[in-house]
Amino acid sequence: MSGFTKNIVSTDLAPEAVGTYSQGVEHAGVYYFSGQIGLDPKTMTMESDFQSQIDQIMKNIDGLLESQSLTREHIIKTSIFVTDLGNFDLVNKAYVAYFSEPYPARSCVQVPALPKGALVEIEVIAAKK
């Protein structure tokens, strides 16, 4: 793959990877960030309630973005994984609180389980303007 470059994102502004993956990868100005759960990057602990996890996830996402001189305005797509689709209204409230129109594209699916017992995980794709 001559000429193909991918740059690895690594920052202490978000939790370190808890598996065999990178915090993010950039290629051709597009940033693919790994899913974030509500782990505090300093303590690697997580609160047990859904809203606290969403709040920490957004701090983690902000850290990833900041490490690359990006902001939430650069996010073009989010993928949200929840262990209970009954929390969908809370996801919508968080979207309004953390994003402004025009909102990024989004998918939201229920999954049977998430790493470390998390209730929600969010991954984002961002692009330089």
Q: How many CB atoms lie within 10 A of CB 120?
A: 26
Q: Is 20 a catalytic residue?
A: no
CA distance 37 to 118: 6
* Catalytic-role residue among 13, 25, 90, 108: 108
Which residues does residue 20 pair with via DSSP β-bridges, in sequence order?
Answer: none
Helix/strand/coil percent split, the chain, to 5: 30, 25, 45
Q: DSSP letters of 11-65?
A: -TTSPPPSSSS-SEEEETTEEEEPPB-S--TTT----SSHHHHHHHHHHHHHHHH
Which residues does residue 106 pair with via DSSP β-bridges, in sequence order?
Answer: 78
Positions marked active-site = 108
